[in-house]
């Protein structure tokens, strides 16, 4: 009952707000209908109106940042000094690179696998132990040990760096409001900027190689750490703060003994995010010198070795799931408290056990070669067999006729007409439509942002390509809603299925998207269908995940009330569960759009005509300015949706009292 | 392993020989960029292992094959072993004009990049390889999206090809689409392989694909200098790009300007290095067909081709 009154109250405010968007919509339709009579500048901005933003940016980068401020000397010093030293240190230990401390042999794989097993057991029992040890055993047996360690040696620097920067920036943002306000938009842009835009600056400022790879990874992975730290610190309850003050803590002690331990859970969620985002960059950073798995994967794909690409993909997924599960277990695991007088070796028994296992394997590897290194000839890689299986599958007649049909229907009847329709809409009408959308969904503020952002896009001179980018995003998100939401609803009905589906989601999310691009091309050709469907694989994940989470977190009083009033399963779902879960699902929807903007740029590897293709072209000419303009366009479009949807979800949550 | 021993023996001999010369190579690592195709990776490892045998410290770094010229220019990597005229000529020339890198000589290999088809295509369209047969066969290359026109799958846009312009200039009844990556080209051929569907794609030689899918280049009107800048060249007097690509493009090495001073011996060797088409194909084969790791393939290649690479060693070291 409570819910119903809330809802009617909500829809009343929504109604009064509907006025303006409706007028905008009518105006947009009017412009579309009369476009043949309208002056040209309302349809597409004339060339002469486009400011030379790329040239201005080029001048800014070359003349001011590099030639006047010599900013590159500072970054270069950092890259070649401390950063290179740290990367050299981990690389020497893990893969034997010729750097300090100049150990001749890298650590044997068996010793690392043993430590991971003990750590896994400590954090989550036998299952986690199996996951930890198993991942490393798989890596060694597949003959991928060296490249995996090359990757991990960079991540072992990039992730802690991201953690540290994120923690400090998060604390500063929590202490000083102005910093918080200043950093929020920067973080938002950073998170939506396509990776191509990081590439050239990272190379120019931080030297191609592991250094640029580490920096690009850190930049990409840090934002959620900052946000989670601030969130955690803000939530610390006043009672705890009082207790700290009463026991006479100094300010430093307050921070390190009171605030940070109390915000432990949020900070660790941030750590988990940092790790996962680092892994997401493993393949992309291979373009700027990140060694290891990513580079190998690209080389395998370019010589059309599907099987071995797949094996590398599995390694990346295993590492991601292992680190994810372990860091999540660490969040849940509360610090153990021992009685006074417990001997040291009991308090630290896992540590001792890990050291013991490490030494045992370190020593035995000196005598038993296979424990030290699995050679390529000994490895169990079955790349060729997988190649055959994939090609065989793609050649089954039914598969071919289904995909041929899908390709035809989607391309000729749906996608291409939809794209042409979006391109047919005059710029002025498109602006009104976007503003109307943002207004009706999020309210006045998001509408204002939408107006500014899309006007900037129009004045960037890349309107058509921006619209084609947007078209792929919208088409993909729409299709993934058709798949993801029903999937989520179905999976949320039982604990068991929810868990299984979430596992599939995790896997799909960390699986390097490059790998499924190739089979997708083989199935659907180099067409819009391939582009859209490969985005769909990625965007269905958040939709399914948040639908499950939203539905499973519906307060049980509400569902029980529905049961008691004799609602059918369908009624319960439509009238009670879905409306309450909607704000959470909106977060998933928003994430799906963000993922789509990320993935659409990667889809340039298939072959597109959007901003991604143009970004790819800038690599040849090293046009920093143009590169940045294109990247910002993606960012602006993504942020327009982000602001509108998040604003809607927050209002709705408030209205529902969640 | 055996090669390593031979190499280190050579290195010992060298150490005494080179110590007499006036200039020594810096002990800083010579950074060699590797990209994502096999011949270049193996070639880089071959050169790296020779340099190591000369006592140099070598490091490899994976990079994008277009953005790498900026890195050579800045001295972040010391050299680039495969500068293809067609694919990377533009980036190379741009970096050349900005300064910081220079041309370190050609390989004894010719490269060719052009419209290409796998052999099975010829069964359906026997008029090939002449370009004049293309219009009559256009329907064979049609897809669900192109209607009556044929589909030609061009290389990625950043390779700066002019497929579209050529199709227009020569009045070809084809839709030209850009693949997003080399891998996308292979996937397109791979998908056509089972049914022997005719396909027309951008391809180049030397390349591993020749071994996997035998095929031929389409013979366009022969390249004339100025075909890309002067409309009067080529069969169509009013259009640019109405010729085939040069059938004998260069394959160069590029070096950072600071290299001759910092690593004089290594630089001397770099200028002498010259691989032929057959050697490049062999190196690619070791990895792509024989499934070796690039390092291993480089060792095997060095072992089997000692008479080739020993002639590149700096004066007084062999």
Q: Are residues B86 and B124 in the same domain?
A: no
Task: Find residues 158-187 of chain A whose CB sits inside 8 Å of chain B.
Answer: none
Whether residues B105 and B12 share a domain: the answer is yes
Q: Looking at residue B14, what is its pLDDT?
A: 47
Contact A521 B191 (CB under 8 A): yes
Domain co-membership, B118 together with B100? no
**If DSSP states are collapsed to H, E and C, what string results for B40-80?**
HHHHHHHHHHHHHHCCCCEEEEECCCCCHHHHHHHCCCCEE
How many domains is chain B built from? 2
Closest CA of chain B from A228, distance in Å: 33
Cβ A294 vs Cβ B202: under 8 Å: no
Q: Indicate yes or no: CB of A289 within 8 angstroms of CB of B61.
A: yes
Mutate to test the interface with B, among A303, A384, A409 (most CBs of B within 10 A): A303
Residue B206: the pLDDT is 84
Task: Choose the closest CB to A522 out of B62, B68, B187.
Answer: B187
Per the prediction, chain A carries an average pLDDT of: 89
In this prediction, what percent of chain A has a pLDDT beyond 70? Answer: 96
Q: Specify whether B6 is located in the same domain as B105.
A: yes
Report the alpha-carbon distance of residue A517 to residue A370 in Å, rounded: 35
Within 13 Å and on the Cβ side, how many CA atoms surround B190?
28
Give CB contacts under 8 A, 24+ apart, made by A574-580: A576/A3, A577/A551, A578/A551, A579/A3, A579/A7, A580/A3, A580/A550, A580/A554, A580/A555, A580/A656, A580/A658
Supply φ then ψ for residue A615, to 5 degrees: -60, -40
B273, part of any domain: yes
Position with higher pLDDT, A367 vs A458: A458
pLDDT in tens, B175-216: 999 998 888 999 999 889 888 999 999 998 888 888 789 999
Say whether residue A413 is in contact with chain B using an 8 A CB cutoff: no
Residue B56 lies in a domain: yes
Q: Is the pLDDT of residue B293 over 80?
A: yes
CATH number, position B44: 3.40.190.10
The yes-or-no verdict on residue A373 having pLDDT over 60 is: yes
Which A residues 208-227 touch B at CB under 8 Å?
208-210
B7 plus B102 within the same structural domain: yes
Chain B contacts in chain A segment 483-522 (CB below 8 A): 517-519, 521-522
Query: Nearest-CA residue of chain A relative to B87?
Result: A620
Residue with tokens 């929504």: A14
From B77, which residue of chain A is nearest by alpha-carbon distance? A208
Closest Cβ opposite residue B62 in set A199, A290, A302: A290
- Residues B274, B304 within the same domain: yes
Q: Are residues B99 and B24 in the same domain?
A: yes
**Mutation for testing the A interface, residue in B45, B56, B65, B67 having most A CBs under 10 Å:** B67
> Is B240 within a domain?
no
Class assignment of domain A50-90+154-293? mainly alpha
DSSP bridge pairs for B33: B61
pLDDT over 50 (residue A622): yes
pLDDT band at A5 (very low <50, low <70, confident <90, very high): very low
Based on the fold, state whether residues B95 and B140 are members of the same structural domain. no
Chain A residues in contact with B287 (beta carbon < 8 A): 303
Query: A301 — contact with chain B (CB < 8 Å)?
Result: yes
A523 CB within 8 Å of a chain B CB: yes
Pick from A209, A304, A606: which is nearest to B186 by CB? Answer: A304
Taking 70 as the threshold, does the pLDDT of residue B18 lie above it? no
Q: Which residues in chain A (56-95) have CB-CB distances under 8 A to chain B?
A: none
Q: Phi/psi class of residue A122: alpha, beta or left (left: φ > 0; alpha: ψ in -120 to 50)?
A: alpha
Query: Do the chains contact at A622 and B287, CB–CB below 8 Å?
Result: no
Question: Which of B36, B57, B293 has its CB closest to that of A376?
Answer: B293
Nearest chain B Cα to A622, which residue? B67
Note every long-range contact of B210-213, with CB atoms under 8 Å and residues 24 or more positions apart, other chains counting.
Answer: B210/B281, B211/B281, B211/B284, B211/B285, B211/B288, B211/B289, B212/A304, B212/B288, B213/B118, B213/B119, B213/B189
B interface test, pick of A142, A196, A201, A208 with most B CB neighbours within 10 Å: A208
Inter-chain touch B90–A606, beta carbons under 8 Å: no
In this structure, whether the domain defined by A460-656 belongs to CATH 1.10.3720.10 is answered with yes
Q: Which stretch of DSSP H or E encloses residue A33?
A: helix A19-33
- In terms of average pLDDT, the best of A2-16, A629-643, B283-297 is A629-643
Could you tell me where in chain A the CATH 1.10.3720.10 domains are found?
50-90+154-293, 460-656
| Banded pLDDT at B317 (limits 50, 70, 90) | low
> What's the gap in Å between the CA of B313 and the closest CA on chain A?
24
Residue A230 has pLDDT above 80, yes or no: yes
Closest Cα in chain B, distance from residue A164 (Å): 27
* Partner residue facing B37 (CB), from A290, A303, A526: A303
Looking at the structure, do residues B127 and B106 belong to the same domain, yes or no? no
Contacts of residue B179 in chain A, CB cutoff 8 Å? 526, 606-607
Tell me which residue has tokens 């299952």. A127
Note whether A295 contacts B62, CB cutoff 8 Å: yes
For B23-67, how does the pLDDT look when each residue is reduced to its tens digit (9 = 90+)?
Answer: 688 889 999 999 988 889 999 999 999 999 999 999 999 888 888
Test the B interface: residue of A150, A608, A620 with most B CBs within 10 Å: A620
- Whether residue A397 lies within 8 A of chain B, CB to CB, comes out as no
What domain range includes position B170?
112-217
Between chains, do B287 and A619 touch, taking CB under 8 Å as contact?
A: no
Cβ atoms within 10 Å of A243's Cβ, excluding its own: 12
Question: Residue B203 forms beta bridges with which residues?
Answer: B114
Tell me the nearest-neighbour CA distance from B276 into chain A, angstroms: 21
Distance between A279 CA and the closest CA of chain B, angstroms: 17
Residue B169: inside a domain, yes or no? yes
Q: Is residue B232 part of a domain?
A: no
Q: Output the six-digit token pair for B68.
A: 């790498």
| pLDDT tens track for A558-610 | 889 999 999 898 999 998 999 999 999 999 999 999 999 999 998 998 988 89
A523·B291 Cβ contact <8 A:
no
Q: What is the pLDDT of residues B134-167, one digit of tens each?
A: 999 999 999 888 888 999 999 888 777 888 999 9
Answer yes or no: is B227 within a domain: no
User: Strand, coil or helix: what is B175?
Assistant: strand
Q: Which parts of chain B fold into alpha helices (H)?
A: 2-18, 38-53, 68-74, 85-98, 120-124, 134-137, 163-169, 182-193, 209-212, 259-262, 264-272, 277-288, 294-304, 306-309
- CA neighbor of A630 nearest in space, from A597, A588, A654, A653: A597
Looking at chain A from residue 337 to 376, which residues have their Cβ under 8 Å from any Cβ of chain B?
376
A604 reaches B (C-beta below 8 A): yes
Find which of A400, A525, A530, A613 to mutate to test the B interface (most B CBs within 10 Å of its CB): A525
Give this prediction's pTM.
Answer: 0.89
Q: Is residue B231 part of a domain?
A: no
If one counts every other C-beta atom within 10 angstroms of the C-beta of residue A416, the result is 16
Q: Confidence class of residue A64 from pLDDT cuts 50, 70 and 90?
A: confident
Domain boundary among B170, B193, B217: B217
Mean pLDDT of B101-121: 93
Span A233-264, pLDDT tens digits = 998 999 999 999 999 999 999 998 899 999 98
| Model confidence pLDDT, tens digit, residues A10-52 | 444 544 555 888 899 999 999 999 988 888 888 899 989 999 9
- Are A204 and B74 within 8 A, CB to CB? yes
Q: Stretch B224-247: mean pLDDT, rounded?
A: 86
Using pLDDT thresholds of 50, 70 and 90, give the confidence band for residue A483. very high
ipTM of this complex prediction, to 2 decimal places? 0.85
Q: What is the pLDDT of residue B205?
A: 86
Task: Report CB contact under 8 Å: A416, B145.
Answer: yes
User: Which has the closest alpha carbon to A281: A300, A295, A264?
Assistant: A295
Does residue B317 belong to any structural domain of this protein?
Answer: no
Q: Which of A92, A198, A299 to mutate to test the interface with B (most CBs of B within 10 A)?
A: A299
CA closest to A515 among chain B residues: B183
- Element containing residue B104 per DSSP (H, E): strand B101-106
- Chain B residues whose CB is inside 8 A of the A299 CB are 35-38, 41
Mutate one of A79, A532, A619, A624 to test the B interface: name it (highest B CB count within 10 A).
A619
Among A305, A411, A521, whose Cβ lies nearest the Cβ of B188?
A521
Residue count of chain A, please give it. 658
Bond from prior residue into A279 cis (ω within 30 degrees of 0)? no
Q: Do B186 and A604 touch (CB under 8 A)?
A: no
């Amino acid at each position: 009952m409570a819910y119903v009154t809330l809802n009617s109250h909500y829809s009343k405010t929504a109604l009064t707000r509907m006025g303006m968007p409706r007028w905008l919509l009518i105006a947009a339709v009017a412009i579309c209908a009369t476009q043949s009579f309208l002056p040209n500048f309302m349809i597409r901005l004339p060339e002469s109106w486009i400011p030379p933003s790329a040239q201005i940016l080029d001048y800014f980068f070359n003349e001011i940042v590099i030639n006047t401020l010599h900013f590159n000397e500072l970054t270069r010093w950092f890259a070649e000094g401390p950063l290179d030293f740290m990367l050299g240190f981990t690389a020497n230990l893990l893969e034997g690179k010729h750097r300090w401390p100049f150990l001749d042999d890298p650590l044997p794989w068996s010793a690392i696998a043993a430590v991971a097993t003990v750590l896994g057991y400590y954090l989550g029992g036998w299952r986690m132990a199996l996951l930890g040890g198993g991942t490393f055993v798989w890596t060694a047996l597949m003959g991928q040990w060296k490249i995996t360690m090359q990757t991990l040696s960079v991540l072992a620097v990039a992730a802690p760096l991201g953690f540290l920067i994120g923690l400090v920036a998060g604390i500063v943002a929590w202490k000083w409001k102005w910093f918080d306000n200043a950093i929020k938009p920067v973080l938002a842009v950073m998170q939506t900027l396509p990776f191509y835009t990081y590439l050239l600056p990272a190379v120019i400022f931080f030297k191609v190689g592991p250094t640029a790879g580490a920096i690009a990874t850190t930049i990409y992975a840090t934002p959620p750490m900052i946000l989670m730290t601030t969130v955690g610190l803000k939530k610390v309850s006043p009672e705890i703060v009082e207790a700290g003050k009463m026991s006479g803590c100094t300010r430093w002690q307050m921070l390190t003994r009171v605030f940070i331990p109390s915000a432990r859970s949020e900070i660790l969620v941030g750590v988990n995010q940092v790790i996962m985002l680092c892994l997401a960059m493993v393949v992309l950073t291979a373009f700027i010198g990140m060694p290891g798995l990513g580079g190998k994967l690209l080389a395998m794909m370019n010589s059309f070795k599907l099987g071995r690409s797949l094996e590398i993909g599995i390694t990346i997924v295993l590492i991601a799931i292992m680190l994810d599960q372990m860091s999540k277990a660490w969040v849940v695991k509360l610090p153990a408290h021992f009685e006074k007088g417990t001997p040291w070796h009991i308090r630290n028994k896992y540590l001792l056990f890990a050291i013991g296992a490490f030494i045992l394997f370190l020593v035995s590897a000196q005598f038993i070669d296979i424990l030290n290194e699995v050679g390529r000839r000994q490895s169990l890689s079955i790349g060729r067999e997988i190649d055959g299986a994939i090609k065989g599958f793609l050649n089954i007649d039914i598969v071919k006729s289904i995909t041929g049909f899908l390709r035809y229907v989607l391309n000729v009847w749906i996608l291409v007409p939809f794209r042409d329709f979006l391109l047919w809409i005059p710029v002025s009408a498109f602006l009104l439509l976007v503003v109307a959308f943002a207004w009706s969904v999020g309210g006045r503020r998001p509408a204002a942002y939408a107006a500014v952002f899309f006007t900037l896009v129009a004045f960037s001179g890349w309107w058509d390509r921006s619209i084609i980018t947007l078209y792929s995003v919208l088409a993909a998100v729409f299709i993934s809603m058709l798949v993801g939401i029903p999937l989520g609803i179905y999976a949320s009905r039982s604990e068991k299925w929810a868990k299984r589906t979430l596992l599939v989601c995790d896997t799909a999310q960390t699986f390097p998207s490059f790998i499924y691009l190739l089979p997708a091309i083989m199935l659907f050709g180099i067409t819009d269908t391939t582009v859209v469907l490969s985005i769909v694989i990625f965007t269905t994940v958040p939709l399914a995940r948040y639908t499950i989470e939203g539905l499973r977190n519906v307060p049980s009083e509400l569902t029980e009330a529905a049961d008691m009033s004799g609602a059918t399963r369908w009624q319960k779902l439509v009238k009670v569960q879905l409306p309450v879960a909607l704000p959470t699902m909106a977060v998933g929807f928003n994430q799906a759009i963000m993922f789509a903007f990320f993935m659409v740029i990667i889809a340039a590897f298939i072959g597109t005509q959007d901003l991604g293709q143009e970004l790819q072209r800038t690599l040849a000419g090293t046009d920093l300015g143009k590169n940045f303009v294109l990247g910002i366009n993606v960012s602006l479009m993504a942020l327009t949706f982000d602001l509108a949807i998040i604003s809607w979800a927050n209002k709705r949550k408030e209205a529902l009292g969640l | 392993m055996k090669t390593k021993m031979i190499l280190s023996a050579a290195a010992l001999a060298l150490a005494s020989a080179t110590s007499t010369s006036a200039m020594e190579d810096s002990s800083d690592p010579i950074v060699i960029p590797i990209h994502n195709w096999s011949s270049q990776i193996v070639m880089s490892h071959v050169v790296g292992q020779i340099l190591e045998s000369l006592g140099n410290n070598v490091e490899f770094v994976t990079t994008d094959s277009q953005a790498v010229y900026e890195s050579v220019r800045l001295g972040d990597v010391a050299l680039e072993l495969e500068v293809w005229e067609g694919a990377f000529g533009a980036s190379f020339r741009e970096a050349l004009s900005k300064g910081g890198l220079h041309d370190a000589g050609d390989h004894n290999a010719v490269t060719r990049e052009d419209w290409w088809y796998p052999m099975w295509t010829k069964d359906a369209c026997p008029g090939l390889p002449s370009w004049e047969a293309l219009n009559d066969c256009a329907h064979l290359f049609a897809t669900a999206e192109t209607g009556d026109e044929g589909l030609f799958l061009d290389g990625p846009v950043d390779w700066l090809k002019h497929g579209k312009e050529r199709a227009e200039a020569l009045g070809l009844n084809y839709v030209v689409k850009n693949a997003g990556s080399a891998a996308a080209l292979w996937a397109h051929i791979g998908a056509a392989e089972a049914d022997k569907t005719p396909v027309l794609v951008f391809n180049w030689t030397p390349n591993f694909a020749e071994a996997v899918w035998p095929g031929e280049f389409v013979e366009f009107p022969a390249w004339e200098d100025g075909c890309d800048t002067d409309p009067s060249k080529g069969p169509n007097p009013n259009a640019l790009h109405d010729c085939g690509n040069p059938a004998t493009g260069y394959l160069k090495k590029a070096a950072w300007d600071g290299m001759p001073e910092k690593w004089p011996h290594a630089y001397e060797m770099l200028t002498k290095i010259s691989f032929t088409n057959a050697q490049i194909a062999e190196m690619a084969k070791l990895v792509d067909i024989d499934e070796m790791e690039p390092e291993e393939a480089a060792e095997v290649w060095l072992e089997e081709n000692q008479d080739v690479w020993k002639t590149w060693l700096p004066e007084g070291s062999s």
